[in-house]
Amino acid sequence: MTTLLQRCQTVADKVTQLALAQRHANQQRQVQERTREWKTNYEKLKSVSGRVACLSLDTAAIASVAEKRAHLRHNAVQVLERLTSHNDIAQITSDASWTRLLASVEGLADELETSGKLAWRSYIDEQGTLDDPAWLRNRAPSTPMNDAAIEAYQKHHGAYAALVKLTMPRGTHDLAQLSQTIAACRTEAGKVDFNVPPDVQRFLQAIQLGSATLASLTPDVLEWLAKNGQLERYRIRSAGQ
């Protein structure tokens, strides 16, 4: 027959087990909360760091980032020492150490983001600007070669415009693509001929309107068509056809 002392001991054991279980559950909850807090801040830092890595920061930005990084490292060491010495996850939030660590992660991410945006703008400016396709189309005489060059230019310029709208590059491929796109635009722009003789401009305009006649084929027009390999592009037909 179970004695009163044995029953008391059984109850005491169950209370101890329950207390341990509650402590374990509380530690698990705190681990999950701290992990979530850390992951939220660290993922932002990781993302920004990856995008900034392909850029060249100026001297002041490098110094500022280094200071923020050293501050983060110092706070991380403090939290690690507290956790190691107490072996209790609850102890890392018993003072402001954990809050300072999260703030330093956020501070470094913000500093990298600000510096990265400035470095990206600087990189874009260094590549030089491009003329708007509409400006080229309005200024250049309409010829088959000009029209083809401007159409190709507009296509490349669309890719260029999308890149320069980015607040920061997504990786090294954006820097390479920007340089390639600008080079392609300049190649096409170099094909545009702004010095088209007036007779040729009138002839091409008449072709577009369907009003060209043999009188439109002046010697200057024939010479220009031959020089630019355009003679076979056009056919003479009777007005009655």
220 within some domain: yes
CA distance 5 to 8: 5
- How many Cβ atoms sit within 10 Å of the Cβ of residue 22? 10
Q: What is the pLDDT of residue 184?
A: 97
Give me the residues of the chain with pLDDT under 50, please. Answer: 1
Residue 184: inside a domain: yes
| Same-domain status, 101 and 143 | no
Q: What is the pLDDT of residue 219?
A: 81
Separation between Cα atoms, residue 222 and residue 235, nearest integer Å: 13
Q: Do residues 157 and 130 make contact, with C-beta atoms less than 8 angstroms apart?
A: yes
User: Could you tell me if 18 and 115 lie in one domain?
Assistant: yes
Domain residues for 157?
Answer: 128-192
Across the chain, what does the average pLDDT equal? Answer: 83
Based on the fold, state whether residues 147 and 64 are members of the same structural domain: no
17, containing H or E segment: helix 4-52
Cβ(116)–Cβ(51) below 8 Å: yes
- pLDDT for 214 equals 72
Assess whether 145 and 228 both reside in one domain. no
Q: Which of 119, 143, 177 is the last residue of a domain?
A: 119
* Residue 230 resides in a domain: yes
For 154, the token pair is: 């507009």
Contact 38, 93 (CB under 8 A): no
Q: How many CB atoms lie within 10 A of CB 149?
A: 20
Please work out, in degrees rounded to the nearest 5, the angle formed at the alpha carbon of residue 192 by the alpha carbons of 199 and 230: 55
Query: How many whole angstroms separate alpha carbon 68 and alpha carbon 57?
Result: 15
119, 151, 180 - which closes a domain: 119
Task: Looking at the structure, tell me whether residues 20 and 108 fall in a common domain.
Answer: yes
Tokens of 168: 């920061």
Domain boundary among 71, 86, 119: 119
- CA dihedral 8→10→16→17, nearest 10 degrees, is -160
Q: Specify whether 95 is located in the same domain as 55.
A: yes
Report yes or no: 112 and 49 within 8 Å, Cβ to Cβ.
Answer: yes
Per-residue pLDDT tens over the stretch 80-93: 888 787 776 677 77
Residues 138 and 177 grouped into a single domain: yes
Torsion, CA 40, CA 107, CA 100, CA 27, rounded to 10 = 10
Domain membership of residue 4 (yes or no) is no
Contact 145, 228 (CB under 8 A): yes
Q: Are 99 and 150 contained in the same domain?
A: no
If one counts the domains in the chain, the total is 3
